[in-house]
Structure 1
Amino acid sequence: MSLPCQPRILALLMRELISEVPHMRRVNQLFGCDPVLAAQLMECANSSAYRMAAQVRGIPQALTLLGERQLRSLLKKAQAGMVARPIAGIDMGQFARVSQDCAKLARSLAGRVRLDGSVAYIAGLLHGMGQLVLHQTQPERVAALAAEAGLWDPRRPRVEVRHWGYSAHHTTAILLRAWCLPAEIVAAVQAMEAPLQDAQFDPMAGVLHLAVWRNRVKVSGWSERSMADAFPVDVALALGIDVDVVLQQEATDWSQSMY
């Protein structure tokens, strides 16, 4: 399956990797801007070819494992996605921005509860990949839900479950498992919509829940009163995170750091 990435990010990565001495911090930052490219990187790094299946937990580790030649090969394959049809119902630029904002906030919240920031970042960045696949493969079925709940509406997953019996994030978890990503990332995405329902609470799923919820309501334009009324306070309490930290905090600018 060929999914489109952002042409500008792909071009910048290609230019960086053909230079005599690639700036790997910059390469790291660019992969962290595009969920499609990051997914392809993580799938490659966790493949059997490198004998690291289900062990590569973040972008920096993946870049260390793959050499420059392998990275250039990966990007050339990504160019195939540039000729793919646009995905109906999804603005890919907005999708990438929202995914990165979720990743940044997830990493920031993970730091507050002493969880692995790289894992939180990649889970937040890739959490929406199921939406891309469903929109590409089942456009009519997905479009039927738009009138009831838009793509970024916090209520959308519940609408999906009511109509389909599962949400797009369950599809994401299936994809991540098929790509041999670490079990902790798969489990966090699988449980992120209802992290308190599992017998044993997964803090990473809770972090994802709060980060994704915060960005959904932000993109949906909810008022401060609406956000406060609907805030998932039970998840915040389970993590020991103050409500105001999530509602008032802008995601930390990690553009100068390693993801």
Structure 2
Amino acid sequence: MSKKSLEQFFSRPQNLPQIPQVVKDLIATFNDPDTDVRTVAKKIGMDAVITAKTLRLANSARYGRSRQVATVNEAAVRLGLDVLRNMVLAAGLVDIYPSVPHFDLKEFWRQSFCVGELCRLLSSKAQCDSELGFTCGMLHNIGELIIHATEPELAAELDERVAAGEARAYAEHAVLGFTYAEVGAELSSRWLFPDVIQLAIRNQRVPLLAEPFSQYAALVYMAAYLQRHEELSEDTPVDWPLQLAIKLKIDWNFAREAWLKVKEEGSAYSMLLEN
């Protein structure tokens, strides 16, 4: 199988999924510190489907209070722009593909949301922006979804190689010539996400080797490490990324507590996957 460049991969229109206009508008606010949250709420309100999903999240047990919010504007005032933006991003992204052959979309998004939640919790210890951490975690694996959705035959070959014990990134490089991280970073670039998110996605596999060092790439690496485990003992694992942990000032006890919390509570965002 000949290798394809990223440019060739994205030259096919179907390989660049379309997102709702309101999601594009929300992405643009990452780069505008003077964004008016009420103006954003008004734009969100123009999309009935996104509005309904966002309000459902805003009124969930995790975010809701004694009085439920009835409008996006109320949700914006209560939650703030950063939380609202992540809700709208999630609501829009879970529907970019209604189905993907031989790929469990619900499980994919559940795992993505869990990595996002772990990034959010770890960010607080690393003195990083927690909602930005969630965004990076939620998007970290978007490249794998794109590969499965647009190249199902190649994705099937990749899945076979991974099932046989090969690391996914190495299998992707052998078959495609690039990895899910590169696809995700390129996609985030074309969607005009800020550089900090693009770098987090691109460098998530080797954060210590990347220049400049990205705290958010390191957070994604650590969160993905935790998410992969069903059980974690109180003793520090031998493969725990200690150098990253030292850089981020995250000790094993804190990381394990974050893992336990997410394992027990899951993510409120998973309700977006319910029919």
TM-score normalized by structure 2? Answer: 0.62
* Contact 1:108/1:117 (<8 A) preserved: yes
Hey, what's the Cα distance between the residues in 2 that align with 1:92 and 1:184? Answer: 26
Matches of residues 85-96 of structure 1 in structure 2 within 5 Å? 86-96=99-109
Query: 2:239 aligns to what?
Result: 230
Query: C-alpha root-mean-square deviation of aligned residues, in Å?
Result: 4.0
Choose which of 26, 30, 55 in structure 2 pairs with 1:45.
26
**Is the 2:116–2:137 contact (alpha carbons within 8 Å) kept by the matching residues of 1?**
yes
TM-superposed deviation, 1:232: 2.3
- Structure 1's 41 and 207: CA in aligned 2 closer, same or farther, altered over 3 A? farther
**Aligned AA (2:169):** P
Q: SS at 1:193's partner residue?
A: coil
**Distance change (3 Å), C-alpha of 1:94 and 1:63:** farther
Q: Taking structure 1 as reference, are residues 63 and 117 closer, same or farther at Cα in structure 2, changes over 3 Å only?
A: farther
The yes-or-no answer on 1:70 pairing with 2:38 is no
Provide the residue aligned with 1:190 in structure 2.
Answer: 202
Q: Which amino acid aligns with 2:132?
A: V
Select the structure of larger CA radius of gyration.
Answer: 2
Secondary structure at the residue paired with 1:70? coil
Alignment partner of 2:158: what SS? coil
Choose which of 167, 170, 173 in structure 2 pairs with 1:155: 167
Consecutive unaligned residues in structure 2, runs of 5 or more: 1-13, 53-90, 270-275
Give distance in 2, aligned partners of 1:223 and 1:154. Answer: 23
* CA distance in 1 between partners of 2:122 and 2:159 (Å): 30
**Contact 1:145/1:159, CA 8 A, preserved across alignment:** yes
Match of 2:60 in 1: none
Instruction: Give deviations 1:156-179, integer Å, cap 9, x for gaps.
Output: 223323443321121111111111
Q: For residue 187 of structure 2, what is the aligned residue in structure 1?
A: 175
Matched residues, percent identical?
Answer: 20
Which of 161, 182, 206 in structure 1 is aligned with 2:218? 206
Query: 2 CA distance for matches of 1:74 and 1:3?
Result: 21
CA shift for structure 1 position 247: 3.9
- Deviation string 1:39-58 (CA, Å, 9 cap, x unpaired) is 975433235xxxx4x5169x
TM-score by length of 1: 0.66
| 1:149 to partner: Cα distance | 1.5
**247 and 157 in structure 1: CA distance in 2 versus 1, 3 angstrom threshold:** farther
